[in-house]
Amino acid sequence: VQLVESGGGLVQPGDSLSLSCAASGMNFALYVMNWYRQAPGKQRELVAQITRDNKANYVDFVKGRFTISRDNGKNTVYLQMNSLSPEDTARYYCHAELDWRTKYWGQGTQVTVSY
């Protein structure tokens, strides 16, 4: 199983960024897909989740700004991030969960929001 994130970069406050996570080696449609992030000195935290039946869930601090989506035909999950602020600066990780025993992480992609 491999999860490969892409789309990170350096943007200014107020800008948008779209992350992608391409999965391979797994039956993608069966997995709950999550985006986490980890800022320096902080714990990794859940940002958004999309279920097998395409229901999206968000943590409060990204509601209305971030949108998670998936394309099972492309084995890819996306995170559209709008109205970015410096507080969104973190390494963003893709996470796949089949059940309590079967979980996978990507290597992450860095998002930096700064002038």
**Alpha-carbon gap, residue 86 to 113, rounded angstroms:** 5
Q: What share of the chain is helix, strand, coil (3-state, %, to 5)?
A: 10, 50, 40
pLDDT, average across residues 4-23: 98
Q: Is 62 helix (H, G, I), strand (E, B) or coil?
A: helix
pLDDT, average across residues 42-49: 98
Q: So what's the pLDDT on residue 75?
A: 98
Q: So what's the pLDDT on residue 7?
A: 98
Residue 98 Ramachandran class (φ > 0 left, ψ -120 to 50 alpha, else beta) = alpha
Residue 28: which pLDDT band, with cuts at 50, 70 and 90? Answer: very high
**Alpha-carbon gap, residue 9 to 33, rounded angstroms:** 22
